[in-house]
Structure 1
Amino acid sequence: MRKIAEQIVKKRVLILVLATVLLVPSLVGYIGTRINYDILSYLPEQLDSIQGQEILDQQFHAASMSMITVENMEKKQVDRIEEKIRGIDGVRDVMGLGDFLQTMPPEMVPQDLRGMLDNGVCQLLLVTFEEGNGSDRTLKAVDEIKAMMNSQMFLGGLAAVINDTKMLIEQELPLYVAVAVGLSLVVLFLGLRYSVAPLIFLLGILYAVLYNFGTNIFLGEVSYITSALAAILQLAVSMDFSIFLLERYDEELHKGLTSQEAMTEAVVNTFTAISASSLTTIAGFLAMCIMDLKLGTDMGVVMAKGVVLGVFSAVVILPALILVFDKPIHKHKHKVLIPKLRGVAKLTTTHYKAILIIAVVLLIPFGLAQKKTDVYYNLLDSLPQDLTSTAGTQKLRDEFDMPTTHFILVSDQLSRPQMDKVLEGIRTTEGINSVMTLDKFLGAGIPEAMLPESIRSVFSAGGWKMIMANSSYTSATPAQNAQISELENRVKAIDPTALITGEGALNRDLVLIADHDIQMVNIVSILAVFAIIAISFKSLSVPIVLVAAIEMAITINMGIPYFEGETIPFIASIVIGTIQLGATIDYAILMMTRYQEERRVGKVRRDAVEHAVYTCSSSILTSGLSFFSATVGVAMVSKIDLIRSLCGMLARGALISMTVILLVLPALLMVFGPIVEKTSFQFLNKKGEEH
């Protein structure tokens, strides 16, 4: 590593030139990476709901659908609107009651269909799209539909929800970055003695962020959640590396070394020091890749890649930047306003028993509360209530009592008696208020062939019959999830090959998968971090102490929403613990490393703990507050509850982890220090023996 460090210092100008040149393809890659706004598209392909979506798309050409409620409008005007919508690129068809009346005798149109599409005050238009709900073509078509709407029209459905999400993210993303950068600069200015250093740090991290987003093009696309959070988390996590490099560089300069010699030593020591902490962060993020919901892979890969590139920037690009701007950095100084906590250091060793008792007393209620925190899964719940999709969905609920429509696919080989049983089972399921299928059009003795092709193709294709069942329950609620399970039991009892899909079924599967993912991700992330710390410290007890401290912070963080009466997005319950563990375990590693160093130079345990807290407190405060400021800023400005909740919980988690490491971890070392030292390989040398 020393030879590499020497080359980095020697060729610093060339490194900066090449690093800057690489920004060009990174920008091209960033622009060329598609953003996916449809979380449901990350569900596993083997699910019945996903297979059903595929059949709806390939056979019925109805995988994506929106509903337009038209209020108090004459038929001729509605017909003109239909024609305009049909002419939009990406729209496959538009169907209202008038279309059925035009293609068949009025007496053959079922009463259920009439009531479903026209309640006397409002008419309902079903818009089907050529591609999926989240495709660029569909979202553009929704934009055009919204542009032609007036005050008498209300657009609902999943495509409209995704379109509104896209609109908000595109509006807010630049604001996220600006607020995160601005608040991080404030914290760095308070925590560092050099006024110019925060700008140099951010410049170095900017290279890593742009490289990360540029290389996402090899993934094809990333989710909007990843896109919104990755840069903020990369900024927060990578700041530790930058602070450590500059502090080590100054330390070497004070020894009398030249700037180039000092930077060589700083690069070598920085890489050694951050290797373990960066690996734990990477492992924490990669743990999300085991999620059945492929959104975890999306987030995990991008964030882990960001940490790798952050390390690269800290040991290659940032050293070159510091050397180039060495004079202005060291010329402009000010008093450090984030102090070392001498009083806290004394407190932790004097009252460590009381601290541990308080920690245990807090842990019990928060641990119980964590399991009772309410979670929501419906995308609509994360959006402001004044958007097109929320107003449209509310109108569907108010006027037609159909916030959700299930699409039930059964074999077209079922006999008429079997089909009657299927329909009866659906009709009598609690919460189903109307059912529409091809059989509704067929009276006694009327063969299917007599129906117009335009009607038959809507309900029968590719060996399947499609049944539309309107539910009075809202998607992703316990009532509707139970309803879908009941429908599956009844329909599959007659046709085992039957499939149920639609927004409700997709969200129900999301609930089931998320519950499984929460347990698996937490277990894998803890085991991965445990293993890395165990190898780094050559100890089985050190990772137990460090992980226990961070897990306590996570438990408190995840339990707070229950006491606040807050409902959090499902993704928070899966990823918050993993991200908080990966991002803040560094604080614990820093404290343990310093404690080990103090013991090795001969200090007794109490003095070693006290000095470790004192010397690490400023770095932990600066790093933790940087993490807090970057994420809390986004939480303050975002109108999307999913993003606001995630960032708010991450910000709170940074403060809680910081507090636990400064208070509880030292208390743990006071109690379990002897066990740690005896169960770790060469934790102490001869100078470190107890006096």
Structure 2
Amino acid sequence: MEKVYRGILAHRRLVVVLFVAVALACARLVPLVKVNYDMVDYLPPEAQSTTAVQLMEEEFPQSIPNANVMVRNVDVARALVLKQQIAAVPGVEDVMWLDDVADVAVPLEAQDPVLVESYYKNGNALFQVTVTEGEEADAIAALRNLVDAEGAGNAVSGEAMDTGQMQMSMIEQVMMACAILVPVIVLLLVLSTSSWIEPVLFLGAIGVSILINMGTNFFLGGVSFVTNSVSPILQLAVSLDYAIFLLHAFAAERKTAATLEDAMARAMKASASTIAASAVTTLFGFGALAFMQFQIGADLGLNLVKGIVLSFFTVMVFLPALTLCLTRAIDRTTHRPLLPSFKNVGRPLAKVRPVALALVAVLVVPAFLAQSSVVFTYQNSLPDPNLRPGADTLAVQEEFGRQNAMVVLVPRGNVAAEAALSDDLAALDNITGVMGYAATVGAEIPPEFLDAAITEQFYSPHYARIIAYLDADYESDEAFAAVEAVEQAAGRYYDEFYTAGQSANLYDMRAIVSVDNVVVAVVAVVAIFLVVALTFRSVGLPLVLLLAIESGIWVNLAIPYFTGTTVNFIGYLVVNTVQLGATIDYGILLTTHYLAHRRLQPARQAVFAALGETFPSLLVSAGILASAGFALALSSAIAAVSSLGLLLGRGALISLVMVTCFLPALLVYGDGFIRRTTWRAGFFTGKGGGTGAEGGCGNGGDGSAGHFTSNNGGAAALAAESGEGR
């Protein structure tokens, strides 16, 4: 590999030019990447609501309305004109109003009041609009302009409005997250480095890999809105350490190497395996998301895996070349260390070690049970009356009730069964109206006698479509109970039926979450256990490390249960693996240094020395990851993204506490178990039995193992000073 390293350095200018060119090309592709805002597309193929949506797309020309347009103070004639104007808006596929289900030439007072008031009430007209997928932002903006021209108080609401709002605000929210995160990262890097320009190198290297990752999504056909919002921030926060590892190794090698090229080649060789080990643990944590039935996990997980791989190659190829090109600038901008020395941080941490052990022992079981009982939310937006989208939604609900449509597809041919089912649905709680051929036109009228424009709303060649309107929030106990009742009613008349709609989709999501949570957690734990076991050639150490990190995860996820708050299910599912994959490196870093010292001195002294050496790196890494999480939480109005950000930010800090307080206690008090379950541990026994030659500590998740400089005498002096050796 050394020939490869030296080849990269010999052609460093060409390497820099190629990476920058690829990054710029990918930056041009980023705006062209399709972003999918429809959560239904990520339901598993076997979910019945997924089948229902596919059948409707194949069988029926008209889609389910996904937007509501309310215009106040209009008569029927003006409403019919507005209907035509709405239909002419680019991006609008279809518009449904009263004239589609009733004869508006007949006095409205003589018609079914429930049916009429679903579309026209107190002089206000409510149009049900279908907006083309992918064109929501422009169409909703045009619809708002149209209704605003008719007067004040008019509104546009519905699923398409929510999607359009996310489309319009996505770039703004990502930029806001970066505006919060980047200054914090720069500050942390300035404090932890010795050159003013090094933070620019770190951010430049990872920034190039992020651009390449985002741009190459174009060739994958697109990504979900969650991936588009979260992936760049997480990639930056998680992989920034790789650049820090390499440049720290380079700084150490410069002290003894004859030339800059020699120093960088040796630094690349020394840090490659440790950066790879760090990347692999993170990669397996993210990769576990691909095992979710809810396929948004695979979308995010595989994108993050791609990002980690790209970050690894960027740091190992582009960053060394760039650093050598800018070595003079680095040397001219050096400054004294700004962070205080943490070599004696083990002294105060030693005092809290027994307390941490006892506290976690008391909390871990209740936290494990509580985190499995957290109440989830499944929507990504809730109406905020202080903003136009929320005000419009509440205005429509106040005038016409909640517009929650649920579709039931049944085999065509049995008109009597359709009529009976429609009657049963109309009698259910929270069902305010039913629209189907039997309910709207009448079972006694043969479809052949009517115009195709009327019958095709209800019949396809193979299926009949019945729409039930629920007076309940999309996500509520009442809505989910109604979904169950509708399915039970359909099951009385048909062996084959399908349901779709917001509440039906959310109902399916709820059923999937409990299974996904267990599967993803098990896959991540097993994969990381194997990686850590092979890294340290130990069975006990991966158990100790996973217990420390998993305990932090359980405490993090249990907090919403004890505070009585809800958590978006995507944030919950994703953070379970992201926190594990991203923060297990903290434990690996501390353990690597601990094992190196443990071969030379007793456990307490080894922990004291390891904490002194690794605490700055742990503080910076956790600070960056926590800042990334909180930046997402503060900047995003999307529930899945903000929930994930809050959990991740809090989880990074909890993991830091676990690694610096709880893990050292496990290493000290479990020393005998670790020694017996680690192959050729070579631990110091005080009888001359421990030698570095026997050590099997391996490489951890941090490049600092490659330039470990503490010696036995220095460590012993620290231990004696702290009293840890007693």
> TM-score, normalization: structure 1?
0.94
CA distance in 1, matches of 2:442, 2:360: 72
1:4 matched to 2:8? The reply is no
Is residue 2:175 matched to residue 1:177? no
Contact kept? 1:340, 1:615, Cα under 8 Å: no
Deviations 1:100-131 (A, max 9, x none): 445886699654421322233432212134x4
Kept in 1: contact 2:381–2:638 (CA 8 A): no
| Aligned positions of 1:171-570 closer than 5 A | 171-349=172-350, 352-381=353-382, 384-416=384-416, 418-442=417-441, 445-570=444-569
Distance (Å, rounded) in 1 between the aligned partners of 2:442 and 2:247: 83
**Aligned CA distance change for structure 1 residues 668 and 454 (closer, same or farther; 3 Å):** same
After TM superposition, the structure 1 stretch with the greater mean CA deviation from structure 2, 75-84 or 94-103, is 94-103
Output the CA distance in 2 between the equivalents of 1:219 and 1:199: 30
Give the alignment partner of residue 603 of structure 1, picking from 601, 604, 608: 601
Structure 1 residue matching 2:339: 3-state secondary structure: coil
Paired with 1:286 and 1:605, the residues of 2 have a C-alpha distance of 35
> 1:638/1:493 Cα in 2 relative to 1: closer, same or farther (>3 Å)?
same
- Which residue is 1:592 aligned to? 591
SS at match of 1:22: helix
Quote the residue 2:649 is aligned against: 651
What percent of counterpart residues are identical? 29
52-61 or 466-475, which moves further after superposition? 52-61
- 1:329 CA displacement: 1.6
CA shift at 1:619, angstroms?
0.8
CA displacement 1:360-384 (0-9 Å, x = unmatched):
2233443343233322112232x64
2:665 aligned to which of 653, 664, 667: 667
Separation (CA, whole Å) in 1 of partners of 2:376 and 2:168: 25
Aligned residue in 1 for 2:691: 687
Q: Is the 8 A contact 1:401 1:471 kept in 2?
A: no
Pick aligned residue for 2:121 from 119, 122, 128: 119
| Cα distance in 2 between the residues matched to 1:402 and 1:648 | 30
C-alpha distance 100-562 of structure 1, shift in aligned 2 (>3 A): closer
The more displaced of 75-84 and 262-271 is 75-84
Query: What is the identity, as a one-letter code, of the residue corresponding to 1:143?
Result: A
CA distance in 2, matches of 1:282, 1:656: 21
1:166 corresponding residue in structure 2: 167
Rounded to whole Å, the distance in 2 between the matches of 1:368 and 1:445 is 57
In structure 1, distance between residues paired with 2:206 and 2:268: 16
Q: Mind listing any 5+ residue stretches in structure 2 that lack a counterpart?
A: 684-689, 696-724
Distance 1:6 1:471, change over 3 A: same
Please say which of residues 609-618 and 561-570 is displaced more in the overlay.
Answer: 561-570
* Alpha-carbon shift at residue 414 of structure 1 (Å): 1.4
**Take 1:11 and 1:683, find their aligned partners in 2: how far apart are those partners?**
42
Q: In the TM superposition, what is the alpha-carbon distance from 1:197 to its structure 2 partner?
A: 0.8
**2:384–2:391 Cα contact (<8 Å) kept:** no
1:99 CA drift (Å)? 4.5
Once the two structures are superposed, residues 117-154 of structure 1 have per-residue CA deviations (whole angstroms, 9 ceiling, x without a partner) of: 2233432212134x4xxx22354333322232223422
Aligned to 2:611: 613
CA positional deviation for 1:334: 3.1
Alignment check: 8 A CA contact 2:136 2:161 kept? no
Secondary structure of 2:194's counterpart equals coil
Letter of the 2:328 partner, please give it. K
Residue-by-residue CA offset, 1:571-629 (whole Å, 9 max, x unaligned): 011001110111111111111111111123x2222111111111011111111112222
* Structure 1 unmatched runs, 5+: none
Distance verdict in 2 for CA 1:359–1:288, change over 3 Å: same
Q: Deviations over 1:310-354 (max 9, x none)?
A: 111211111112212212223323343433434431244455333
What CA distance in whole angstroms lies between the structure 2 residues aligned with 1:124 and 1:249? Answer: 67
Residue 198 (structure 1) shift: 0.6
Of 134, 147, 150, the residue aligned with 1:149 is 147
- Contact conserved, 2:437 with 2:443, CA < 8 A, in 1? no
In structure 2, distance between residues paired with 1:479 and 1:683: 60
Alignment partner, residue 26 of structure 1? 26
Q: Is the 8 A contact 1:72 1:152 kept in 2?
A: no
Give, as a single letter, the amino acid of the residue that structure 2 aligns with 1:539: S
Q: Distance in 1 between matches of 2:202 and 2:440?
A: 69
Alignment check: 8 A CA contact 1:632 1:648 kept: yes
**Amino acid of the residue matched to residue 678 of structure 2?**
S
Paired with 1:372 and 1:232, the residues of 2 have a C-alpha distance of 29
- Structure 1 residues 376 and 258: CA distance shift in structure 2, 3 A: same
Q: Deviations over 1:261-308 (max 9, x none)?
A: 111111011111122121010011110011111111110011111111
Q: Could you tell me how far apart the structure 1 residues matched to 2:17 and 2:178 are?
A: 25
Structure 2 counterpart of 1:652, which letter? R
The C-alpha deviation readout for 1:536-579, integer Å capped at 9, x for no partner, is: 11111111111111111111211222334332211011001110
Q: Which amino acid aligns with 2:210?
A: V
CA offsets 1:387-414 (integer angstroms, 9 cap, x no match): 4543343234322233311111122211
Distance 1:595 1:651 in 2: 27
CA contact (8 A) 2:379 2:639 kept: no
Contact 1:183 1:630 in 2 (8 A): no
Moved more, 4-13 or 633-642: 633-642
Q: Per the alignment, do residues 545 and 493 of structure 1 end up closer, same or farther by CA in structure 2, a change over 3 Å counting?
A: same
- Name the residue aligned to 2:676: 678
Assess, with a 3 A threshold, how the Cα gap between structure 1 residues 678 and 402 changes in structure 2: closer, same or farther: same
**Corresponding residue of 2:699:** none
Structure 1: how far apart are the matches of 2:331 and 2:559? 43
The number of residue pairs the alignment matches comes to 684
How far apart are the structure 1 equivalents of 2:566 and 2:174? 24
Q: 1:327 to 1:384 in 2, by over 3 A?
A: farther
Separation of aligned partners in 2, 1:142 and 1:62: 19
Secondary structure at 1:379's aligned position in 2? Answer: coil
Instruction: State how far apart, in whole Å, the 2-side matches of 1:559 and 1:444 are.
Output: 54
Alignment CA distance shift 1:588-1:331 (3 Å): same
Q: Residue 61 of structure 1 corresponds to which residue in structure 2?
A: 61
8 A Cα contact 1:349 1:609, kept in partner: no
